[in-house]
Chains A and B, each alone.
Chain A
Amino acid sequence: MNWFYYASPATFYGLAGRLAPYFFLLAAVLTGWGLYLGMLVAPTDAQQGEVYRVIYIHVPAAWMSMFLYFIMACYGALTLIFNTRLSGMMARAIAPTGAMFTFIALWTGAFWGKPTWGAYWVWDARLTSELVLLFLYFGFIALANAFEDPRRGDRAAALLAVIGVVNLPIIYFSVKWWNTLHQGASVSFKGTSMHVTMFTAMLVMSAAAWMYAIAVTLVRVRSIILERERRAQWVREAVKA
């Protein structure tokens, strides 16, 4: 398979357009199924009551906030090392979705924290590092758009993304390294401390978040490609058609 064929913005534009609807469809189906499982089927938590159900939004969002940053940084590394054009556009397309998931993770966390901890916000390591992640996303978006030459914005923002990767292990391990109020992970490689239905619901919701993130990124990268390549012949033909 020739990867460079799809690394050309012109071919990727078409591919992204064909794939995006399927991912949206998958996202909708999985969200419906996951919410049904999580809200109606899964049992009530013995300690936290019904409030715990925010977990089905909160945990997938928190996972996505970190995964997406990592993927964005990988595209950034591609931009810096191989100077490919599409990777910079992909990183730009991912950033707003990543920022949104970070924001959702923080907000749902606050709604969960009020009844369980008695406060919307506590300054513990997990929350602080996640807040820093949100600012890293903001910094990325601001830096990418701060230059006259979009390629230069791509490269500067890519470097920032790569530097910011240092924050990811801090977020992930913060609950282990520091004695925090935030509870430890319920899911790990060694198994889970959860009821099977709860676990299934959470996985389904995570898959839904993935599909949504991919779909939105594809749509966004299409508009970035169009804007960037507006003087190219194929764009003129595509817009006319």
Chain B
Amino acid sequence: MNGNATAASGSFAGAIAWSVSRDLRLALRHPDETLLTVAFFALVASLFPLAIGPEPQLLARIGPGIIWVAALLAAFLALPSLFAGDYADGTLEQMVLSPHPSFGWALGKALGHWLVTGLPLVILSPLIGLQFGLPPDALLVQALSLALGTPLLSLLGGACAALSLGARGGGTLLAVLALPLFVPVLIFGSGATEAQATGIPPEAHLSLLAAGLLLALVAVPFAIVAALKIAVD
């Protein structure tokens, strides 16, 4: 029986493919959760005009910031469950003991989170931007800043979710850990659209976001793995 199978071997690509394909399949079994995230995003962003009043100039002025805050909260929503399921059913132990490079599956988990929560927000953001009366070029910059910023949120948030795994006060603790780390992303993300709206080229903000994303892509998966190893210890 044992002779049938080839020897086990790990690979970086195998690790990413495993994480992403499994998490996407799990998400497809419950598409309503992704839809809820998107609905939450739209709802939070729509609350502000209702509270502040429908004055077009004011809304166009604060729109970028509001959309970013709403996106940040929506991305945070799915974080507590990012590793909780794998931790509870024992899959996490198998991941840590897998012959695949741990960097790969950790990156894959963050990527999966982004595909399920971040990407829909990027796609939806121009629609919400129209609600706030943003001009077309600002809508584009907005979507671009979200496309660069939300993967960063998934990575940083993933590290915090891994740290708070199995801790008391789960969700609240996670908020205290993750939201301060989200602050720079928020500043540069909303700064890009705001710069565009006031006639300053947004490239500086966008390149800072891109630099942060590249740095996080190579560094944060290690932190996620270290935190998960502490969790299964």
Q: Which residues of A line the B interface, CB within 8 A?
A: 80, 128, 132, 135-136, 138-139, 142-143, 146-147, 152, 155-156, 159-160, 163, 170
Q: Could you tell me the distance between the alpha carbons of A240 and B231 in the complex, rounded to whole angstroms? A: 37
Residues of A with C-beta under 8 A to B230? 152, 155-156, 159
Query: In the complex the two chains form, is A147's CB within 8 Å of B180's CB?
Result: no
Q: Could you tell me the distance between the alpha carbons of A49 and B159 in the complex, rounded to whole angstroms? A: 48
Q: Identify the interface centre among A132, A155, A156, A159: most chain B CB within 10 Å of its CB.
A: A156
Q: Identify the interface centre among B180, B184, B187: most chain A CB within 10 Å of its CB.
A: B180
Any A CB within 8 A of the CB of B58: no
Q: Which residues of B line the A interface, CB within 8 A?
A: 159, 163-164, 166-169, 173, 176-177, 179-181, 183-184, 187, 223, 226-227, 230-231, 233
Q: Name the prevailing secondary structure of the B interface residues.
A: helix
Q: Could you tell me the distance between the alpha carbons of A156 and B159 in the complex, rounded to whole angstroms? A: 11
Query: In the complex the two chains form, is B167's CB within 8 Å of A132's CB?
Result: no
Query: In the complex the two chains form, is A143's CB within 8 Å of B164's CB?
Result: yes
Count, A-B residue pairs, CB within 8 A: 51
Residues of A with C-beta under 8 A to B159? 163
Residues of B with C-beta under 8 A to A170? 184
Residues of A with C-beta under 8 A to B181? 163
Residues of B with C-beta under 8 A to A128? 183, 187
Given the known interface contacts A146-B168, A147-B166, the answer about A156 and B180 at a Cβ–Cβ threshold of 8 Å is no
Given the known interface contacts A146-B169, A147-B168, the answer about A160 and B163 at a Cβ–Cβ threshold of 8 Å is yes
Q: Identify the interface centre among B179, B223, B230, B231: most chain A CB within 10 Å of its CB.
A: B230
Residue of A nearest to B220 (CB): A163
Given the known interface contacts A142-B173, A152-B233, A156-B230, the answer about A135 and B163 at a Cβ–Cβ threshold of 8 Å is no
Query: In the complex the two chains form, is B177's CB within 8 Å of A159's CB?
Result: no
Query: In the complex the two chains form, is B176's CB within 8 Å of A142's CB?
Result: yes
The answer, among B177, B187, B227, for a CB contact under 8 Å with A139, is B177
Residues of B with C-beta under 8 A to A135? 176, 179-180
The answer, among A138, A147, A163, for a CB contact under 8 Å with B167, is A147
Q: Identify the interface centre among B179, B181, B223: most chain A CB within 10 Å of its CB.
A: B181
The answer, among A132, A147, A159, for a CB contact under 8 Å with B227, is A159
Residues of A with C-beta under 8 A to B163? 143, 156, 159-160
Query: In the complex the two chains form, is B223's CB within 8 Å of A139's CB?
Result: no
